[in-house]
Structure 1
Amino acid sequence: MKIWIDLDNTPHVPFFKPIIRELEKRGHSVVLTARDAFQVCELATRMGLPYKKVGKHYGKNRLMKIWGVIWRPLQLLPIVLRERPDLALSHGSRGQILLSNILRIPTVMVMDYEFAEMPWILQPRWEIVPSVMVTGELQVKNRDRVRTYEGIKEDVYAPEFKPDPSLAAELGLKPGEIVVTVRPPATEAHYFNPESQTFFIEFMKRLSETSGTKGVLLPRNKNQEAEIRRDFPEWFKNDHVIVPKRAVDGLNLLWHSDLVVSGGGTMNREAAALGVPVYSTFRGKIGEVDRHLNSQGRLLLIEKVEDVHGKIQIQHRQKNSGDGSSSPPKALQNILDHVENILRIEHPNR
């Protein structure tokens, strides 16, 4: 059958790459669309995914965001009418879900954070979530249409990762340096809490004053990078902190890092999946997945300014070989099986 996948945000690209590959192996065809936002299209191109670029990001303005939610489905409409997919699959694409609900295309949303704001018109028909989330708040209220998978979202693709040593030379990482990857908070997101920005600035001050370290800063967009460079030029003196000139493979950067300090959920969980020490400065509502990782000691939550100095350990770590898994991860298999089962339920005569 034909499955429409929409890439709405940067983390969706590595997540859906193995899903697309395995769905095609199982005989399904995939229609892939991508929003021109953050680094979605750049990363999808680098990963060799044949997508159709539709829509863009509309920034901080709330009215413009609402307009984007309305306008992008209209932009997607010609493609969907031409392709006539049997199922719409995403990791929370509002544009896809809205259009599919109007056209009565069954929607499946894979989700790993229960506090995302979704009005009723944007709620999917089916939801696939990590098993640790099953008792929490979900978008799909009918629990008969909720499916679960083992592990976390990042377990879908992280086990296949193989490190590329050329990244060290590309970024100018020197032997002996403590490499610290830092992701600022999502200041344009609806869930942004200014406290996370306070933690970010406090840590960056500490990092810039710590000798023997190299900070790799990953701003969320060009505007955020420009603001940081304008407000804190001292961080970038003598390349103590750098910003990659192009989109880099996130898993590869994390593997080369000794620790990660991030306000981004996906990057935090990717680090946890790779066994890299990670500290979360996220100060929105903490979801069940992050609470679970925190209870296991795989992710540490920064909850007050004192934690920036007391909890975060700036030190070398022992890197594993990162040879990659030879068989599809369990989380990936779970999701694929659920998608096929949903297809059979929605299209019993096909």
Structure 2
Amino acid sequence: MKIWIDFINTPQVNFFEPLIEDLSQEGHSFILTCRDSSNTVSMLKSKGWDYTIIGEKVYTNLLSKLLGFPRRVLKLRSFLKDKNVDVAIGQSSFYLPITAKSLGIKSIYTNDNEHAMGNIPSFIFADKILLPENLSLEKARKQGARKSKIIQYPGIKEGIYLWKKGLKIIEKRKQNVPDTIYIRPEPNTAQYYTGNSNFLDTLILDLKKDYHIIILVRDKNQFEHYSDKRFLGVEVPKNTISFDKIAEKCLLFIGAGGSMTREMAMIGVPTISVYQGGLLDVDQYLIDNDLMVFDPELTINKVGEFLTTLNTKSSEGSNLLDKGEKAFFLLRNTLFCI
């Protein structure tokens, strides 16, 4: 079977890695396309996979996004029309379902962000829609998802690809002495993000006096911003750091939105979300189960209090890894049954 996957952001690389490895060993083949956004290309390179970049520019304003959408769909269609794809699957790639439909290819669409406007065309054109059990089906139906298309999977999205290595990382953390605060800035090019840019500057300047700080930037603009001499002493890696290395060394993870915040939370890394917008249903689930703290107005004093009052994480973390295994095989089986 020949499977097409479209990557439009960095977390999707980790999301599909177990599926690609598993099915490749069984003789199935993949066509991988990507948009040159955030750290996506460098992540794909690190995996050693063959991929094709289609759509080099990531637009930041809504009008440009709307105009750029059909252009990339047409480019994808032209690239794929003679590739004999059997099935397509995408995690929050709004381009994939409509492109697949125009080529007569069955498609699976999955997303855990109920605020993404791109869900509307994706829900309409996808043949199957996979959603986490904690995402409100009423919200999905309001965006055009038909009940007959929806399959709910157990746990949260991050469990689908962390279930294999999550327990190993947890054990390694017990053997190490985490000493670094990792900070993931805001997703300022995402359609759903409506908060401020660089709002973490004051906190970072305060924290660098007492802690080893590594900022995991999303793009060139953030890299240039945090490379300014004001942030001397703060580490700003130019190249992507592996998830495993981050998780093993992380004393505290501060995330301004996105999958990495949930990844850290579910494997027991002390995590604070500072997201400047409406929380996702899956984020609220992690907060309710004491796996993550939400504080959009975080200060250095609050960080100090948090680190001195850490409690043992909820057992729901390991439960989410168990659910992740079930969700992975549900996703895998859906590919063959669509």
| Matched residue count | 318
The match for 2:315 is: none
CA shift, 1:66, in A, is 2.4
| Structure 1 residues 82 and 317, CA gap change in structure 2 (3 angstroms) | farther
The match for 2:133 is: 131
Normalising by structure 2, we get a TM-score of 0.83
CA shift, 1:154, in A, is 1.2
The match for 1:170 is: none
Worse-matched range after superposition: 78-87 or 281-290:
78-87
SS in 1 for 2:193: coil
The match for 2:149 is: 145
Worse-matched range after superposition: 3-12 or 20-29:
20-29
| Structure 1 residues 75 and 51, CA gap change in structure 2 (3 angstroms) | same
The match for 2:84 is: 84
SS in 2 for 1:100: helix
CA shift, 1:310, in A, is 3.0
The match for 1:62 is: 62
- The one-letter amino acid of 1:257's match is C
Instruction: Report the identity percentage.
Output: 26
CA distance in 2 between counterparts of 1:201 and 1:91 reads 31
CA distance in 2 between counterparts of 1:254 and 1:68 reads 36
Is 1:332 the equivalent of 2:334? Answer: no
Q: Residues 299-341 of structure 1, C-alpha deviation per residue, up to 9 Å, x if partnerless?
A: 11114x266633662469899xxxxx9xx92221121122222
SS in 2 for 1:132: coil
RMSD: 3.0
CA shift, 1:95, in A, is 2.2
| Aligned counterpart in structure 1 of residue 242 of structure 2, from 235, 249, 261 | 249
The match for 2:193 is: 192
SS in 2 for 1:89: strand
Worse-matched range after superposition: 292-301 or 37-46:
37-46
| Structure 1 residues 195 and 61, CA gap change in structure 2 (3 angstroms) | closer
| Structure 1 residues 27 and 129, CA gap change in structure 2 (3 angstroms) | farther
Q: Which runs of 5+ in 2 are unaligned?
A: 170-175, 313-320
CA distance in 1 between counterparts of 2:16 and 2:157 reads 10
Q: Which runs of 5+ in 1 are unaligned?
A: 164-174, 320-324, 343-350
- The one-letter amino acid of 1:289's match is V
The match for 1:220 is: 218
CA shift, 1:215, in A, is 0.4
* Kept after mapping to 1: 8 A contact 2:181/2:214: yes
- The one-letter amino acid of 1:96's match is L
CA distance in 1 between counterparts of 2:266 and 2:39 reads 22
The match for 1:167 is: none
* Kept after mapping to 1: 8 A contact 2:87/2:106: yes
Normalising by structure 1, we get a TM-score of 0.81
Is 1:288 the equivalent of 2:292? Answer: no
Q: Residues 2-22 of structure 1, C-alpha deviation per residue, up to 9 Å, x if partnerless?
A: 221111110000110111222
* Kept after mapping to 2: 8 A contact 1:85/1:105: yes
CA distance in 2 between counterparts of 1:82 and 1:257 reads 46
Q: Residues 126-152 of structure 1, C-alpha deviation per residue, up to 9 Å, x if partnerless?
A: 210111115341245211111121221
Matches within 5 A, 1:196-207: 197-198=198-199, 200-207=200-207
| Structure 1 residues 120 and 332, CA gap change in structure 2 (3 angstroms) | closer
| Structure 1 residues 306 and 153, CA gap change in structure 2 (3 angstroms) | closer
- The one-letter amino acid of 1:335's match is L
| Structure 1 residues 250 and 315, CA gap change in structure 2 (3 angstroms) | farther
CA distance in 2 between counterparts of 1:140 and 1:308 reads 43
CA shift, 1:51, in A, is 1.7
SS in 2 for 1:147: strand
CA shift, 1:53, in A, is 2.2
Q: Residues 237-259 of structure 1, C-alpha deviation per residue, up to 9 Å, x if partnerless?
A: xx2x1011311112421221111
- The one-letter amino acid of 1:310's match is K
The match for 1:265 is: 258
| Structure 1 residues 245 and 318, CA gap change in structure 2 (3 angstroms) | farther
The match for 1:168 is: none
